[in-house]
Amino acid sequence: MKRTKIAEALQLKNFGEEVNIKGWVRTRRGNKNVSFVALNDGSTINNIQIVIDIAKFGEEYFKPITTGACLSVNGTLVESQGQGQSVEIQAKEIEIYGTADPATYPLQKKGHSLEFLREIAHLRPRTNTFGAIYRMRHHMSYAIHKYFNDNGFYYFHTPIITASDAEGAGSMFEVSTLSMNDLPRTKEGKVDFSQDFFGRQTNLTVSGQLEGELGAMALGLIYTFGPTFRAENSNTPRHLAEFWMIEPEMAFYDIKDNMDLAEDFLKYLIQYALDNCKEDIEFLAKMYDNELIDRLNFVVNNNFVRLTYTEGVKILKESGQKFEFPVDWGTDLQSEHERYLVEKHFKRPVILTDYPKEIKSFYMKQNDDGKTVRAMDVLFPKIGEIIGGSERESDYDKLMNRVKETGMNAEPIWWYLETRKFGTAPHAGFGLGFERLMLFVTGMTNIRDVIPFPRTPNNADF
């Protein structure tokens, strides 16, 4: 018999007919004669109830049908008498695909902490919480592609292995096939990367932007969506060493167009989650954050506040608030400052623009004041920075000046610099951290809980 997914079975009305359901046992209750097994197959947060007449199958056969076991059930669809569900299955035949010994199965009991579940990342997808989150990751990924496709953007694939440091931050994972125990050396005693796989030093990308700009300078509107790697040793609830980033890059956009796109894009994604992930969001709201749905609606329905970094710093200095890190013009804003502006002062998302050039990347368009660049950071409640972007410096000489001033090596990005020599154009773009978005739409508070296999300092076991 063809399998019916539980999400579909729960909608069926053809009572009396036979169906096949496959899934994992979530709970089992009942008495000596009849057992109620809640089965889940991942197609929905909801379980379907299997009613088992124990005598019919025999005690011995029934015994291993415990939490975690995987079953295939043929049975009759009946209207449920129990509360909270419309449909249940009266079991006729049960095939046990796999048992899960109650003595050792870690998810035997309910109510484990998120910290404990992180230690069993191989099994946590089987919990309601992580099922909901991973389904939502899928829906949000799809929504991202849909938004860009509907708006005339091309998905442009940028490399994961690069020879450049896009952000100039220097916190990169190196990629090499050289033996670390026996590194070839040059006459000067340095590592001889000419003997390495690519004949040069390479690393995992920190951003697809520089290659993305090459796409925008030909296709007009592009976006990237891929894994991104940063080796910064920041053990915070908002940083991963491997995260996914979405980077649209648009020819002929200025910073205002860039901000409009970022705001429209975020609102679209949040509305998409509300419309398409209703049951999962309701579950997460009930379990972790009862303000979640109000917060999502609030962001969709209100304009983001736009102001300059200079104005933002003034507000922070005059706030009388005691911050852990002091704030002054020229310092990088910490998440406590960003959240003060968003949560306490404006009480809505904020786009800060025109940051001091010293704290931003070399490629950002320089303002006439000689001090600031046309950067924009989108700051969200509970998250802080969710998007970072800018209008790009399109003038070759000005860009080269910044490369020199920041002490960057121009050689690995010679190809990038050539875009400013051949048919340069005003353009802009931004990067959205996918897991920061997931934090926002799920209401979770630790970034390790919104990606199936988090990579953080000292953690890459699974």
Applying CB under 6 A, which part among 20-28, 188-196, 297-305, 431-439 lies near ligand 4AD? 431-439
Under the binding rule (CB under 6 A), the answer on residue 388 touching ligand 4AD is yes
Strand partners, 350: 305, 379
| Site for ligand 4AD contains 230 (CB under 6 A) | yes
For residues 78 and 303, give the distance between their C-alpha atoms in angstroms, rounded to a whole number. 49
Under the criterion CB under 6 A, does residue 376 sit at the interface with ligand 4AD?
A: no
Residue with tokens 């508070």: 445
Among 435, 438, 443, 450, binds ligand 4AD (CB under 6 A): 435
Q: Which residues between 247 and 306 bind ligand 4AD (CB under 6 A)?
A: 247
* Cα separation, 250 vs 219, whole angstroms: 9
Residue 436's binding partner among ligand 4AD, Mg ion, none (Cβ under 5 to 8 angstroms by kind) is: ligand 4AD
User: Which residues of this chain interact with Mg ion, rule CB under 5 A?
Assistant: 388
- Residue whose CB is less far from Mg ion, 133 or 333: 333
Give me the sign of the Cα torsion angle 440, 446, 447, 453.
Answer: negative
Handedness of CA 140, 145, 150, 153 (dihedral sign): positive
Can residue 144 be called a binding residue for ligand 4AD (CB under 6 A)? no
The nearest distance, CB 229 to ligand 4AD, in angstroms, is 9
Q: Which does 247 bind (CB under 5 to 8 A by kind): ligand 4AD, Mg ion, none?
A: ligand 4AD
Phi (first) and psi of residue 371, to 5 degrees: -115, -30
Residue 70 amino acid letter: C
CA diameter of the chain: 84
Nearest to 238 by CA among 75, 383, 343: 383
Q: Indicate which single residue of 124, 239, 337, 382 sits in contact with ligand 4AD (rule: CB under 6 A).
A: 239
**Comparison of 381 and 388: residue with beta carbon closer to Mg ion:** 388
State the binding partner of 239 from ligand 4AD, Mg ion, none, CB within 5 to 8 A by kind.
ligand 4AD
Q: What is the DSSP letter of 242?
A: E
Total of residues contacting ligand 4AD (CB under 6 A) = 22
Is 385 among the residues that bind ligand 4AD (CB under 6 A)?
yes
Please answer whether residues 259 and 353 qualify as being in contact, where contact means their C-beta atoms are separated by less than 8 angstroms: yes
- Phi/psi for 93 (5° steps) reads -130, 140
User: Is residue 240 a contact residue for ligand 4AD (CB under 6 A)?
Assistant: yes
431 scored as a contact of ligand 4AD (CB under 6 A): yes
Q: What residue 89 binds from ligand 4AD, Mg ion, none (CB within 5 to 8 A, per partner kind)?
A: none
Interface of this chain with ligand 4AD, residues 188 to 207, rule: CB under 6 A: 207
* CA separation for the pair 207, 258 (Å, rounded): 18
Single-letter amino acid code for the residue at 161: I
Q: Is 430 in the site for ligand 4AD (CB under 6 A)?
A: yes
Find the binding residues for ligand 4AD in span 295-354 (CB under 6 A). Answer: none
Round to whole Å and give the CA distance between 40 and 52: 16
Q: Which 8-state DSSP code applies to residue 42?
A: S
Q: Which of 359, 362, 393, 394 is nearest to 377 (CA)?
A: 359
The stretch near ligand 4AD (CB under 6 A) out of 291-299, 350-358, 387-395, 418-426 is: 387-395
Complex with ligand 4AD: residue 94 or 428, whichever CB lies closer: 428
Nearest-approach distance from CB 219 to Mg ion, in angstroms = 25
| CA dist list (Å): 23 to 20, 94, 354, 380 | 10, 11, 53, 38
The residues of the shown chain that bind ligand 4AD, judged by CB under 6 A, are: 166-167, 207, 209, 230, 239-240, 243, 245, 247, 385-390, 429-431, 433, 435-436
